[in-house]
Every structure is written in C-alpha cells, then in structure tokens.
A and B are shown apart, each in its own frame.
Chain A
Amino acid sequence: MATITIDGNDIQLGEHDRLNVIEAAERAGVEIPYYCWHPGLSVVASCRMCLVEVGQKDKEGKVLMQPRLVPACQTPARDGTVVVTTSEKVKENRRAVEEYLLLDHPVDCPICDRAGECYLQDYYFQHGRSERRDEPHPFTSRRKDLGPEVTIFTDRCVMCSRCVRFTREIAGTAELQVVNRGNHAEIDTFPGFPIDNKLSGNVVDLCPVGALCSRDFLYKQRVWFLQSHDSICTGCSTGCSIRIDENRGAIYRLKPRFNPNANDWWMCDEGRLGFDFVASPDRLTTPKRRAGAALNDADWPDVLAALRSDLSEAVRRHGGTATIGVLSPMLACEEAYLLAKYLKSLNAEVRLALGRVPVVGEDDFYPKTRNGQPPAPKFTIRAEKCPNRRGVESILTALEGRVTTIDDVFAEIESGAVKSVFLTGGYSRPWLSDAEIAKLAKPELVVIVDILASKATENADYVLPGAAWAEKDGSYVNHDGLLQRTERAVRLPGQAHAEGRIFWELAGRPRLFHAGDVLGELAAAVPYFANCANQKVPEHGIRLATQNA
C-alpha cells in the first residue's frame, strides 16, 4: 500500500497500481495539465506542461523536495512521494509553456475543427497569461493532406509528437515523422508515403490541438453542437467501445472510448467511417406485407397480427421442422433471444439457424513490422465483420442444441423442405447473393427483418424495417466473450422499429420492450449469460462464462 501526498492531501494507492504522478493526482481530484503524455504511448516528457514540484517523505515524515521541477508524466508515484502542483513556480511554468505554444499559433479558433475540445484553448483559460507579449505575426494557415483520412494544419501543431509515436508504437507503420528543427519543426510524411494505415484516424483523436483533423469530419459540425452517446462499434468482432457524436439525429463521427478489455484507446478507420449506412436513402422505413403480386405498406399492428397468424398457420400445416428462423449475428443478444423464444413458442420443433457471418480476409494485427518477428498485438481488426456471433451462437446452442449455418439453410430451402423462413439481416451492405435470393422463391412464407432495401426485400412476403446499431439498445458479445451494452443514440428512420420491440410485440408480450429486462431473462435462461443476472453492465463490459462458447 503506497501513500502519496498531492497538494497536502494523502491518497492511498493499491498494491498493484503503477501510476505516474498525473494519474495519481487525478485520483486525488487534482488535474495536472499535459499535452505530450498519453497513457497508451511511450513517455517523452517534451511538452513540459506537466512540470510539478516533487519530494520524498522519509520514515520520520520529513519531506525533502527536489530543487528542480520534474515532469509529472515521467515521475512514478511511489510510497512517500510528495507532489505540489499549486506553487508559484509550477504556475509560472504553466504560464510560460502556454505562452510559448501560442507564439506561433494562428489562434484561428473560429475556423478550427477542434475549438471546444482543444487542450490549448482549455489550458489557456486555466493557466495562461492574459496578455500577449510577443508581436502578433501575420496569420498563416498551411494545410496538407497527409493521407486519405488525415489532414494537418501545420501552424496549429504544438509538437507533442503523440501522432508520431502512435504510428511507430501502435500501428507500427511509422508514416509520420518530425521534419526540420527548432521552431521550424513540423509533422510530415515522407514524400510518396502517405499515412494510409487502417488505424490512421487515431492520430486525429490523439492530437491535443487542431493540427491533425479528420478529412471526413472537417468543417461538418462545431463540436459543441454534438451530443455524445456511449456505444460500441459493430464493424467487426473486436467490439471497440466507442462514442457516437450526433446532432439532431444525424451521426457526425465515431470516436473510440477507452476500454482495456476490448480496444484500449483505439479503433480502426473502417469502423470509424463505417456509419454512412445509418443515414442511407435505401433504409427500409415502413413495414410491408404482400397481397398477391403487390407488396403493400401497412401499419405495424396489422402487419404483426397477420404475420402471427401466418406463422401459426404454417407451423400447423407443415409442422415445426418446416419453419426456420435465421438469427443474424448483427442482432443484439436480447433480440436474438426474443425471436428464438417466440419461434420456439409456436412449436418446439421450429428450427433456428445462425445468420450470415461475413468474413473478410484475415485478422489484421497491429503493430505491423517491416522485418523480424511481429511484436505482441496491441490492436486487432478482426476478419469477422459482425459484432455478435458468439452471443447468437450461445443462444442457439442453448435453445436449439446446435448451430446451423446459413449455407445449410439455403441447401434445405432448395431441397423444398423449408416452407417458411424468418430472416434477420441488419448488415451495412448487401448480404444475400442473387442465387440465394432466387432460392427464396421456394418457401411459401418469407419474412425479412432488415435495414436496407434489396432484391430480397422486394420479393419477401413480409418486410419489417429494423434498426441500425446506433438506433437501439442492446448488448453484444465480442470475439473474446466480452458482453457490452449500447444505448440508442439517434432516432429511427420513418416507421422503423428496433428489432427488440418488433419481436417483443410479435410475441404479444405485455408492456414495453426493455433491453435490460430481457437481458435479465436471458441470463436466467441461458447459462452462458449467467454473469449478467441482476447487475448493470459496467462501462467496460462483462466477461461471460468461458465454457459454452
């Protein structure tokens, strides 16, 4: 147990805490400003903003202070460490560093993307000097596109070198470097080698000021208009914790959220930029029901009532085994469970299968290395491009006893054994081949719950418009058995309903769908989810039981 003193207050650190003075002070509620330090990167101690006075308390309680200021980021918090952050020396250093950083800064906050979430702005108000002592310089604003996603406003840079360290230590691709020396130093790429790795967007998050900007987000929104919602990325089975930033129902950007169990501080560009489908013009917005050759718009109560009776009729006529429900790995656990439970309630022999699991290439490990053995991965983009295969599979294993693949389902459809099929989609791109769509002509009843219009939805008997992940509550189990909750960030388009609500109402359950309640029910019904019983899912998710994966 280590006791350290921050500005006169003692705080206790745990046995295994390996903190620097910035982190320890944060626990004591004292904010030490910094630019270059980042918990996920190596320490360079070059911005000199975090300098504090540090001393050591000996056994008799006598404090011996070091005569010089030391960087808090580089100083470990050990038992007896005494930190002073409020002395005039410390304050003067902060004033000086703020002044230095603003000497060559264009102060173009009104047109800067970062304004409102900029360290330089915030610290200036907290620690800066009120007057400018250097002569004002002519305004300059040099912008350079460093890669497909990243652009730099060189004059705003404070040379913290976080971005350079990220490309070296996490991405391993080392595109960014410091060129020139002294106050001519700037961040650049080597000519002909743009920053085009799949993690490049992270350097924008890392930039403490407005130097590195996202080309996707540039000039789209002032950040103070954005509302943030905690969520997770559904782009692959890594399940990065993210933040959805939206304004009036439109998503403007996704940002990674720290989660030591999944993604640390990072996310990939594919996930970061992969939200366009949410606002796609091809979104399904009204429930539809077939009447002869025509597929008509209908109201939810009518559609659900008709679907309920059609399904019961099909099961009555052909027996349970001729009806098959396909649970997409894009569905949240609660939704998959509700649908599975409903279909099984029609007849215990109704069959359940796993929906399409999109796999693209191979797992992509970072950091990359040019030569030698690859280092231990610090970030992985998974080949499995869906968020919840493990969750859906364990529900299938519990309720069905086995996992049938979508290919087997289509083989059976072709053989004519399947009379009615209940398909769930939710993918961000088309997920059925033309051949498979042709096969769907065979069954008597085809129900599709999906978000994007396709040939398949044109030919189905029932089309129920569902929700993209950002539009609904639910939980997902990543490749590692980590269950994470997401919450609704934006409104649904048109009359679309969250799948959870559709299946809840289809099953004729009373009151309203509530994801938390269903998760509790799921925890009781499926042993794999037992850890979720009676508890809120914490910020960093819950690790589920390891067996039964």
Chain B
Amino acid sequence: MPEFEQVLLKNIGVPDAQRLDVYKSHGGYRAVEKALRTMSPDDVVKVVIDSKLRGRGGAGFPCGQKWSFLPPHRTTTYLCINADESEPATFNNRIQMEGDPHQILEGIIIACYATKAATAYFYIRYEFVEAYHILQRAIDEAYAAGYLGKNILGTPFSLDVYLHRGAGAYICGEETGLIESLEGKRAWPRIKPPFPAIEGAFRKPTVVNNVETLACVTHIIDRGADWFKSIGVPADPNNPRDMGSYGPKLYGLSGHVNRPGCYELPLGVTCRELIDGPGGGVWKGRKAKAAIPGGLSMGLLSESEFDTPLDFSSLQKVGCMGLGTAAVTVIDDQTSMIDVLHNSCRFFAHESCGQCTPCREGTGWMLRILERMKTGHGRKEDLDVLLQVAESMGTMPGTTICGLADGAAWPVKNALAKFRAEFEAAVTGNRPASSGHDAA
C-alpha cells in the first residue's frame, strides 16, 4: 500500500479536537476563509466538479454535478446534511462527528456558500446522542466565532445551521425520506421527479449531502482539486461512463477481524488489503468466507473475490451493487450463510417503510422463507422462489420508489449465486442450518 497522508481522520485522537481553537490550530477553517474571501460560489462549484468528488453516502453520485442541478434563478435553497447513518455496520460518519465536528461544519459552510443556501439542516440520527451534543457545542462555538450566523467573516454571506434529531428509521437516510422526516412527516420516500434539487425540503430547491462528502469538500477547497485527484483510482479511459474513484475514503471494518475500526485509505484499496493490513487478518486464526463490501444492501463478496478494489466501479464487476458506504464486514468460515442471509432479510423486512407493494411484501416473504430454512424446513423450490422474489422486487428496475428494495434483494441474489451449494445442502439436508449464533 503506497504511503498516503490522512486528512479526514487526522484530528481523531488529538486531545480536544472537538474544540474550535484546537481545530483552528491544526489548520482548521483555512478552507472557509479561502472560499469566502477569494472564490465566488461558482468557483467553488467548479473546483468540486473538477475534483470529481463522488458522494460518500452510498450512491456515489458526483457531488459537484448535484449542486449544478439547482435551478439558476432560485430564491431559497436548503442544504440537508445526511447524518442518518443507519446502514448496518456503518460508523464512518459517527467517528467524524464525534471526533472532528468542525471539519464537517467547515464543509457545510463551503457547500452552502457554493449552493447559495442560507439555511442548513443537519439531520442526525436519533441514536447518535454523543455526536449530537458534540455537534451542537461545535455549532454554538462556530456562531460565537463568526463562522455561522449573519455576515460570515464580514462577507455578505449568512448561514444558519440547525441540528435536527431524527426519530426515524433506516429509510430516513434516503434523501427524500430524510426530507419528509425533516418536514415532520412519515419518512416515506417521494416519487421522483421532481428531484430535491428542483423541489426538496419545504418545496424549495434542496441539496442533500452526506457528512463524509462535506468533509471531503473542506479538503478539496483547502488543497485543490488536483491534490484530490492524485488519490484513488483514475477513470477508465476506455469507458466514457466511468467517472473514476478519486480521493481518500473512510472504510469501516467490522465483523470477524482482529482489529475492527474506521480506517482512512485511498479509494481502490482491495478488500484483502484492508482485512490483512489495518484489519490484522481474520479473527481466531480462521479463514474468511465472505465479506459485505459496503453495507449490507450492496451484496456479498466471496473470499475468492477479495482482491476486488473497493471503489465505485469495480464491485459491480463481481455482482455487487456498488461501494455503498464502504463498511466492510468480514464473515469467517465457521459462519452459516443461511444465518447471514436471514439476518439481512430480517433487517430489511423490519426497515421497509411499507409504501411500495413489492418491497413491503417481498421483504417479509423472503424473511419467512429464510426462517423456514434456518429451522431446517427449507424446500428445494424455495431457492427459486427466493431468487424470483429478489428479481421482481429489487433488480427489475423501476419496481419501487426508492432503492431499499434493491438493497434488500441484492444480498439474496449474491448469496444464492455465490454460495448456492450451502443453500442447496440446507434445503435438502432437512436439518437446522444455523451455526448457532447470529451472524454479522
């Protein structure tokens, strides 16, 4: 692994890094000064577009492009910060929010300056109690220091940041679900179009960005687009649709490894490098059987696919949905894949918002089948039914309003494709297929 300077996590572990003066003494708020004093909003957008920064929340949509979708003649714009980090085993945002809140605030100020938003809603997951208090303290400090409020740094730009605690569910992390929840409604994702950039929160143009994306914006403005593009995997010149995977990325490593944790690495590190390097290998001296590459909804990697780079375009080549949140969960060879899939189905059945028929009913059906399999009552035809359900609810595009159904279907599809033998043994063996503990 090449030498690489950490930026996103550099203040983690610095004593009192949550305090504004400590953050400033480590070079903080330099980017805000630079953006507000020397750049126009359009300059900022241009730098972010040039950096090819892709959203870190899961979908990997180019951040600058998202900003440029805002209608040119708009009166009110909102920025929503998506801190409803609820993908299973994902904790990157939490580390950042608890350890280095001003880095995120700096990104928010720059993003609002670029998108001409005068109000930002920081939508934070309810369960992040500590992060909530730390952020609120940081926001208060920033107001006191003149980085938030009226006429920031003496410029005409003003910004208010409201920390909003969600009281919702997994689905609140979907950007329109988040907006609905923010508006005080049930977090049912909206039908698109209109996209939030045209009509979002309170029917006004809205940008929804992930915490980590905004942290990256801070460093892009500070160090320039070229620095950002020097890290990661360049776009494939033979594929005009490949947008590349640039910049540093936080990888959350969990599951059956010796040293789980949040690691900052350049995009494109392989799964094996991550597990054997920072992760210190599979626990208890066992071998790995599989890994979840980027949050449960992205699917599963088998051990033989561990050399796949964890970037925005390589994972599709091995049948996964994408990089997602880059939360890698390692599954050792003592674990039953039926348990893994059962756990996955239980999660999605619990979290389906209940709006669209295929997702609402399909997730529950898949869970029932897995429950049966787990207790040894699986039938041969169950495997085909599972696949067909997954196919019709998730991977047939357009069947649902949001991506939750795809996320629920993908692990099923992957597990059945990559670990078929294990499932066949389970449905023919007629015995409980559980390894005795809940996996992952």
List residues of chain A with CB under 8 Å of any chain B CB. Answer: 43-49, 51, 67-71, 74, 89, 92-93, 96-97, 100-101, 103-104, 133-135, 158-159, 161, 177-178, 180-185
- Taking CB atoms, residues of chain B closer than 8 Å to A67 are 397
Q: Which of B188, B191, B349, B396 contacts A183 (CB 8 A)?
A: B349
Determine if A97 and B385 form an interchain contact, defined as CB atoms under 8 angstroms apart.
no
Determine if A103 and B353 form an interchain contact, defined as CB atoms under 8 angstroms apart.
no
Q: Which of B358, B363, B368, B400 contacts A182 (CB 8 A)?
A: B363
The yes or no answer to B356 lying at the interface (CB within 8 A) is yes
Determine if A182 and B392 form an interchain contact, defined as CB atoms under 8 angstroms apart.
no
Determine if B356 and A182 form an interchain contact, defined as CB atoms under 8 angstroms apart.
no
The yes or no answer to B126 lying at the interface (CB within 8 A) is no
- Taking CB atoms, residues of chain A closer than 8 Å to B352 are 181-183
Pairs across A and B, CB under 8 Å, 28 listed: A43-B191, A45-B401, A46-B401, A47-B356, A48-B358, A68-B397, A68-B398, A69-B399, A89-B396, A93-B392, A93-B399, A97-B358, A100-B357, A100-B360, A103-B361, A133-B381, A134-B365, A159-B355, A178-B354, A181-B350, A182-B349, A182-B350, A182-B354, A182-B363, A182-B364, A183-B363, A183-B364, A184-B354
The minimal Cβ–Cβ distance linking B105 to chain A, given in whole angstroms, is 33
- Taking CB atoms, residues of chain B closer than 8 Å to A177 are 186
Q: Which residue of A lies closest to B170 (CB)?
A: A181
The yes or no answer to B362 lying at the interface (CB within 8 A) is yes
The minimal Cβ–Cβ distance linking B237 to chain A, given in whole angstroms, is 25
Q: Of residues 388 to 410 in B, which have CB atoms within 8 Å of A's CB atoms?
A: 392-393, 396-401
The minimal Cβ–Cβ distance linking B372 to chain A, given in whole angstroms, is 8
Q: Which residue of A lies closest to B397 (CB)?
A: A68
Determine if B351 and A51 form an interchain contact, defined as CB atoms under 8 angstroms apart.
no
- Taking CB atoms, residues of chain B closer than 8 Å to A47 are 356-357
The minimal Cβ–Cβ distance linking A189 to chain B, given in whole angstroms, is 15
The minimal Cβ–Cβ distance linking A124 to chain B, given in whole angstroms, is 14
Determine if B354 and A183 form an interchain contact, defined as CB atoms under 8 angstroms apart.
yes
Given A93-B392, A97-B357, A101-B357, 5 other A-B contacts at CB below 8 A? A46-B357, A49-B357, A103-B364, A135-B372, A181-B350
Count of CB-CB pairs between chains A and B under 8 Å: 98
- Taking CB atoms, residues of chain B closer than 8 Å to A74 are 191
The minimal Cβ–Cβ distance linking A33 to chain B, given in whole angstroms, is 12
How long is the Cα–Cα vector from A184 to B354 in the complex, in angstroms?
Answer: 8
Determine if B353 and A51 form an interchain contact, defined as CB atoms under 8 angstroms apart.
no
Q: Which of A68, A103, A159, A181 contacts B169 (CB 8 A)?
A: A181
How long is the Cα–Cα vector from A101 to B365 in the complex, in angstroms?
Answer: 11
How long is the Cα–Cα vector from A54 to B2 in the complex, in angstroms?
Answer: 49
Interface residues in B, total, Cβ within 8 A: 32
How long is the Cα–Cα vector from A93 to B388 in the complex, in angstroms?
Answer: 11
Interface pairs A-B: 8 shortest CB-CB = A68-B398, A185-B354, A100-B361, A68-B397, A69-B398, A183-B364, A182-B352, A96-B392
The minimal Cβ–Cβ distance linking B395 to chain A, given in whole angstroms, is 11
How long is the Cα–Cα vector from A185 to B360 in the complex, in angstroms?
Answer: 9
The minimal Cβ–Cβ distance linking A174 to chain B, given in whole angstroms, is 11
Residue from A45, A161, A182 with most neighbouring chain B CB atoms (10 Å): A182
Q: Which residue of B lies closest to A160 (CB)?
A: B357
The minimal Cβ–Cβ distance linking B356 to chain A, given in whole angstroms, is 5
- Taking CB atoms, residues of chain B closer than 8 Å to A161 are 355
The minimal Cβ–Cβ distance linking A120 to chain B, given in whole angstroms, is 11
How long is the Cα–Cα vector from A180 to B188 in the complex, in angstroms?
Answer: 12
Q: Of residues 369 to 398 in B, which have CB atoms within 8 Å of A's CB atoms?
A: 372, 381, 385, 392-393, 396-398
Q: Which residue of A lies closest to B349 (CB)?
A: A182
Determine if B399 and A181 form an interchain contact, defined as CB atoms under 8 angstroms apart.
no
- Taking CB atoms, residues of chain A closer than 8 Å to B385 are 133
The minimal Cβ–Cβ distance linking B389 to chain A, given in whole angstroms, is 8
Determine if A181 and B357 form an interchain contact, defined as CB atoms under 8 angstroms apart.
no
Residue from B188, B357, B364, B368 with most neighbouring chain A CB atoms (10 Å): B357
Determine if A48 and B362 form an interchain contact, defined as CB atoms under 8 angstroms apart.
no
With contacts A134-B365, A134-B368 taken as known, whether A180 is within 8 angstroms of B397 at the C-beta atoms is no
How long is the Cα–Cα vector from A135 to B368 in the complex, in angstroms?
Answer: 9
How long is the Cα–Cα vector from A100 to B349 in the complex, in angstroms?
Answer: 14
The minimal Cβ–Cβ distance linking B78 to chain A, given in whole angstroms, is 22
Determine if A182 and B353 form an interchain contact, defined as CB atoms under 8 angstroms apart.
yes
Determine if B354 and A159 form an interchain contact, defined as CB atoms under 8 angstroms apart.
yes
Determine if B358 and A100 form an interchain contact, defined as CB atoms under 8 angstroms apart.
yes
- Taking CB atoms, residues of chain A closer than 8 Å to B396 are 69, 89, 92-93
Q: Which residue of B lies closest to A184 (CB)?
A: B354
Determine if A181 and B392 form an interchain contact, defined as CB atoms under 8 angstroms apart.
no
Q: Which of A51, A103, A134, A158 contacts B399 (CB 8 A)?
A: A51
The minimal Cβ–Cβ distance linking A405 to chain B, given in whole angstroms, is 50
- Taking CB atoms, residues of chain B closer than 8 Å to A92 are 392, 396
How long is the Cα–Cα vector from A158 to B357 in the complex, in angstroms?
Answer: 8
Q: Which residue of A lies closest to B382 (CB)?
A: A133
With contacts A45-B191, A70-B398 taken as known, whether A181 is within 8 angstroms of B361 at the C-beta atoms is no
